[in-house]
A and B are shown apart, each in its own frame.
Chain A
Amino acid sequence: MKKILIFGGLLLSTVLVYAQANISPAKPQSKPIVITGATIHLGNGQVINNGYIAFDKGKITAVGEGTAPNTGGADIINAAGKQVYPGFICPVTTLGLVEIEEGAKGTVDDEETGDLNPNVRSIVAYNTDSKVIPTVRSNGILLAQPTPNGGTLSGQSSVVQLDAWNWEDAAYKTDIAVHLNWPVVRPPRRRATVADANAESPDEARLKQLDEINNLFTAAKAYATAKPDVVNLRFEALKGLFNGSKKLFINVDGAKEIIEAVTLANKLGIKAVIVGGKEAYLVTNLLKQNNVPVIIRETQTLPARDEDDVYLPYKLPKILQDAGVEYGLTGTGFWRQRNLPFEAGQAVGYGLTKEQALSMITINNAKILGIDKTTGTLEVGKDANLFISGGDALDMITLDVQQAFIQGRNINLDNLHKQLYKKFSNKYGIKAD
């Protein structure tokens, strides 16, 4: 505990000199840590009041209520009145791939040219030195899935932990998914002209695309069963889909398109994940019966149709919860992912319980990403990916991440924004709290 305080003090004095660059990844956990007296949210729906949690060598060793046993030799963190949460997990994001969205093309690495790029891998472009990552981490997001965009098959993604020197360090589970953008009908922007009448209609164009996808996967599946004469990198990249080592993440919102996507995945024996799923509430039976999970793109969005319930996106998690569909949640873009806890909390006013909302961005996401054996809940044996908040972490008026641990490492919660806050508060002689 003392060390932590000292560390905090150090920060204050050095910030003006170094800014951002002084935020170093933490050293490995060197001795056991026990957090006591906290309200512990396990992530699986359970809450322990006045609880303790112990971890050593990066793994959780004990969780329980009351006084922690065998605390000798451990650093004790008294967290009375505070909340402990599993680190939030942010799936399907461009965090670390994009630094400045527009007007600085050199900082944008989430999209490759061409339509079919299942072979490209996001992990190699993941920039651990991004100034955005610490701002996201400061709100309790400790793991993320940097994900490529664009084309029909965008590439493969990996899961990273957000405190690392380089991408190798950061890699938590690599090449877990291939990302597919399901074709949608794009109505023409201009009114049809006579010449257009004979041209391909948007509907026909889409059907053609669907055929191409079907053909590609069918061929890839056959390719996967034998040693080929000529290596095809695209097919190689898809192999994992057919042996279950990779999932197919499908970006799709419409009910009809979701049906098509699930049908294709079934036909090919692929594990599919629906990403987006705005109209998933219309096809819950299909999703449940086929065990296809949905990663909701965002709750803080507008309904797709003017006629929809104005709160429909806020209610979507509750609808999927009640229907027994497996679901998780992400947000949009990269810097906005610091709002992930609020995207989750948003559903609480509309029927979800707080603990269900928490599960949505912890264990649910972990399961969908296939990392639930090591993280997603605060259970013995899992990685010590967790943080202490002064108050309810899903609500902006109480979120206050004071300490965070990734694999037991006590990470630095400073960021560019805090530094600039302090710099200019100092200039004006006002209090930065």
Chain B
Amino acid sequence: MGLLSKKDSKLILDPLADNNPITIQVLGICSALAITAELKASIVMAISVLFVLGIGNVVISLMRNIIPSKIRIIVQLVVVAALVIIVDQVLKAFAYELSKTLSVFVGLIITNCIIMGRFEAFALANGPWRSFLDGIGNAAGYGLILVIVGFFRELLGSGTLLGFPVLGNPIPGELSGLYALGYENNGFMLLSPMALIVVGIIIWVQRSRNKTLIED
């Protein structure tokens, strides 16, 4: 690694797999279940969290020596709320339809446990550059799971990817692709319980590949 030292690159790579915020720390589950019915929404949500967590970690890290520890939670909330409002306004201005799909869940990034968790656990004790990498890494780990879940839910639930019909045309009378063979979309995939099961399967696969992750 030319750009990053080994220790720094670990900050980014660890949360992608062996210390993933969703599958290992089991944080941020609510939004992973709520907005992953479409791949597009998953990607936008992932980018939003990447923005909020990356910048937020840097801001908190810069202020870490002047924040009185008694009111640090309030300060953290103010920072994350300001960033979330920016994301929300940008989405409303440039992607109105999408912001309607994401609805309240953009606002709820404020309460996403991953963000407060990284502020508390990392940014308050580390410099801005390392905090930035940590924020990016954790948000990417979160986003990765979101995109995987969103991919399977949209593909199997609606037969599309990013809105493109990849499995053929399901409209009766003009069937094509897989639908002409009698295939049908799985409506269960669009319901939240199935998102939980998909996340569960990811956790299952990950832990059976790496036995050290299994807790007693």
Do the two shown chains form a genuine complex with each other?
A: no
